[in-house]
Amino acid sequence: MTEPMVYIIGAGPGDPELVTVKGKRLIEEADLILYTDSLVNPDLFKNIKSEAVVQKSAGMDLEEIVQVMVEAAKKGKKTARVHTGDPTVYGAILEQMKKLAEEGIEAEIVPGVSSAFAAAASAGLELTVPELTQTVILTRAEGRTPMPDKEKLVDLASHQCSIALFLSATLIKKVVREFLEAGWTQEDAAVVVYKASWPDEKVVRTTLGNLHEDMRANGITKQAMVIISKAADQELIQSGTYESKLYDKTFTHGYRKGVSAHE
């Protein structure tokens, strides 16, 4: 028998086609599928083995979750632990892997499309626009989980780069306060994507000043990605000031010789 093993698989943001080929294969080969919450689309499980056991872990505690996986893996069952988006971002996988290791069970992480990137795609954004912002911060507002001292939102926001906020839909007033304190203005752009890539997805384009009211008006209190970024400012982007030189015919790089600007 092969060594017991658990695959921790990123399900992507919701659209069942936004899972990796490897993740899909492992799910379809699995004997046990234990999945996290309402943001994992059960349509992902359409072509699984008829005898596969599919279980939702919402409502189970860590011990119960690990016990289910340990029992299956030790019996030689192929075990898929399916997490929303990418498992390495707010996936709480560390404690699961630690407990599995204590039982002599290895875990392999299969990455997924994080909702930060699915949301940017749904909003039609490039998160890194030359000379405007070249950095993306993935973070959250401080709620019950305290933020490390050096990662307070006001400090992160002071970089004025693209910032994607997870788990923050109910903390928006506080988010806006911290961004304004960090030097952003009421007019700066924000996009909220509710249930990115799901059929009932909503994309709300707004400003920092209107963010709270627009989320409230659209009934968005959870399952939302909030992106605050100058790159979401349509006027700025349409101005043509900030465009990559990569495909510009006067820009030379290793694979393409530039055409002289004088030609």
Ligand X SMILES: C[S@@+](CC[C@H](N)C(=O)[O-])C[C@H]1O[C@@H](n2cnc3c(N)ncnc32)[C@H](O)[C@@H]1O
Binding residues (CB under 6 A) for ligand X: these are 13-14, 39, 83-86, 89-91, 114-115, 118-119, 166-167, 193, 195-197, 223-225
Give the whole-angstrom CA distance, residue 190 versus residue 195.
16
Q: Which is nearer to ligand X, 4 or 87 (CB)?
A: 87
Q: Which is nearer to ligand X, 84 or 229 (CB)?
A: 84
Q: Which is nearer to ligand X, 78 or 83 (CB)?
A: 83
Q: Which is nearer to ligand X, 52 or 137 (CB)?
A: 137
Encoding tokens for residue 247? 């495909």
Give the whole-angstrom CA distance, residue 77 versus residue 80.
10
> Which residue's C-beta sits nearest to ligand X?
85
Least separation, in Å, of the C-beta of 246 and ligand X?
27
Give the whole-angstrom CA distance, residue 43 versus residue 260.
53
Least separation, in Å, of the C-beta of 230 and ligand X?
21
Least separation, in Å, of the C-beta of 199 and ligand X?
11
Q: Which is nearer to ligand X, 68 or 113 (CB)?
A: 113
Q: Which is nearer to ligand X, 34 or 132 (CB)?
A: 34
Pairing of strands 189-194, 202-207: antiparallel
Q: Which is nearer to ligand X, 123 or 132 (CB)?
A: 123
Pairing of strands 162-166, 224-228: antiparallel
